Every structure is written in C-alpha cells, then in structure tokens.
Amino acid sequence: MKYIEPHAHMVSRTTADYQAIAQAGCEALCEPAFWAGFDRASAQGFYDYYRQLTEYEPARAAKFGIKHFCWLCINPKEAEDPVFAREVMAMIPDFIERETVLGIGEIGLNKNTRNELQIFEEHVEIAKKYDLPILIHTPHLEDKLKGTRLILDALRNADVDRDRVIIDHVEEHTAPLVLDEGFWAGMTLYPESKCSPARAIDILETFGMERIWMNSACDWGISDPLAVIKCALEMKKRHHSAEIVEKVIFENPKSFLSQCPNFAL
C-alpha cells in the first residue's frame, strides 16, 4: 500500500527504519521540528538541528526513494524561556525558503503555561507573515483537553485560515472539538499513549474520514515507524474498503500537505 507518513522524527531513528517504511510503501515523510530528547543548551543547537532537517535527512531518505519534508519551530517543551525561544525563532527566516520546508510546526503547548502560549501565538504570526501552513502539538494525557481549548481560543483570536492548520495528537475527547471548528486533525499511533490502532479506527468511524490523518510520530521513545501501515491493515480487518484506507493514509495527508508550497510527490 502506498502511504504518506505525515509526522515522524527521523533524526532519532536508524537508517534501517527508512528501509522498512520504504518497503511498506511510504512515498513521502514529513518531520516536524521538536524536542531532541533533552533540552538544548544554546540557540546554536537549533541552527544545527535545522540544517539536519533541511540537508541531511532529505538525503538519507532519498536513498530509499522517499521524499523528506520538514516543519520549523522551537517546540513547546523548550518554549518556557521566552528570551531563549525568541533567539531560536529569529533563525527560522534563514531556513524558511529551503525547498523541503512545509511550514511552521510542531508548535503548541506542553504544560499549558503562559509563556508557552505566548510563544505559540508568536509562531502563528510567523506563519501568517510568510503565508505558511501550521502543524500543532497538543499536550499529553491530563493536560490535553485544557491545552486543546487554549490552542483553539488562540487560533480564533489570530483569525487563521483553518484549512491550513492541522492540530495533532487528537484523542476521543478532543477530535470533535478540532473538527467542529473546521481544522484538520491528526491522530498519533503510540504503543503506550495517545491512540492505539483500535482507538484510532473507532475515532474514524465515529467522526468520519474527512480532514483527518494518522501518523506514527516515531521518535527516541517507545514508538513504531510502521504504525500507520499496521493501522491500515487493521482497517481492512474491519472491512473498510481499499478506497477508504487509501483516503485516510494517502489522499487525506496529500490533500492537506499540497497546500504547502514546497510539497510535491
């Protein structure tokens, strides 16, 4: 099956993972900027990280016939210090014109603090200035509902184009909030948290197959780079047609990502 992996942190994965997803049918992969598994000590660390996302990873993916794209930001886990965050954000325009950059992301909230929210709003303004789509991270576990509501309030105030915003890591209690507001929703398939394949399919069957995608968000933690294709197989077991499966794992992400000036298959 051909599919798009719309959210994966390949800087933390081995080359064998690229080989595995290529063999499974992955045609394009999108990597949002995020936490490195530890807090970086200087803004210069982000400069090198942005180079890794825009130079090294595309070349590594290309060896297996996969197109690699990325998003740029300072992630919410490292956005609590506004001075440091703004120093990092000042570098984004130096990379925004690179040919594999899709937009601003994954921005959002981690602990739902005032500083995180301020930096989130400033990221949104960068996206508006450069007319770029936005990919948003919602908090984990008990902070998710409050964080999602704060994010939705901020987006209303910013008057963004909702067709060009995807709010990721939705679960049963946040998916309807996001979709009812007219935004796109992303479901993350994690072995230990977020959505299992069964839960993700339940969400699709409850809220519909429009304006939604699935991703692995595979990183340095317990995660599976093949999660999307495994969930697609579970959809087939539930007797979803091949056309519906392809819509969710290929056509939907292609539709959203095609709004990004640099996205092309």
147-189 pLDDT per residue, tens: 999 999 999 999 999 999 999 999 999 999 999 999 999 999 9
Which pLDDT score, from 0 to 100, does residue 191 have?
85
Mapping DSSP to helix (H, G, I), strand (E, B) and coil, where does residue 97 land?
Answer: coil
Q: How would you class 180 by CB atoms within 10 Å of its CB: exposed for 0-12, middle for 13-18, buried for 19 or more?
A: exposed
Residues 6 or more apart whose CB falls under 8 angstroms from that of 124 comprise 104, 107, 134, 154, 155, 158, 160
| Stretch 16-24: mean pLDDT | 98
60 to each of 55, 57, 72, 186, 243, how far by Cα in Å?
A: 9, 5, 19, 25, 31
pLDDT at 141 exceeding the cut of 90:
no
Q: How would you class 14 by CB atoms within 10 Å of its CB: exposed for 0-12, middle for 13-18, buried for 19 or more?
A: exposed
What structural domains does the chain harbor? 3-257 (3.20.20.140)
Tell me the sheet residues that pair with 195: 189
Which pLDDT score, from 0 to 100, does residue 199 have?
97
Which pLDDT score, from 0 to 100, does residue 129 have?
98
| Stretch 210-238: mean pLDDT | 97
Contact between residue 189 and residue 170 where contact means Cβ atoms under 8 Å apart: no
Other CB atoms within 10 A of residue 161 CB? 13
| Stretch 231-260: mean pLDDT | 98
Quickly tell me which residue has 């594999």 as its tokens.
100
pLDDT at 193 exceeding the cut of 90:
no
- The answer to whether the predicted template modeling score (pTM) of the entire model surpasses 0.85 is yes
pLDDT at 31 exceeding the cut of 90:
yes
Residues 119-135 have pLDDT tens digits of: 999 999 999 999 999 99
- List the structure tokens of 54: 């825009």
Mapping DSSP to helix (H, G, I), strand (E, B) and coil, where does residue 209 land?
Answer: coil
pLDDT at 142 exceeding the cut of 90:
no
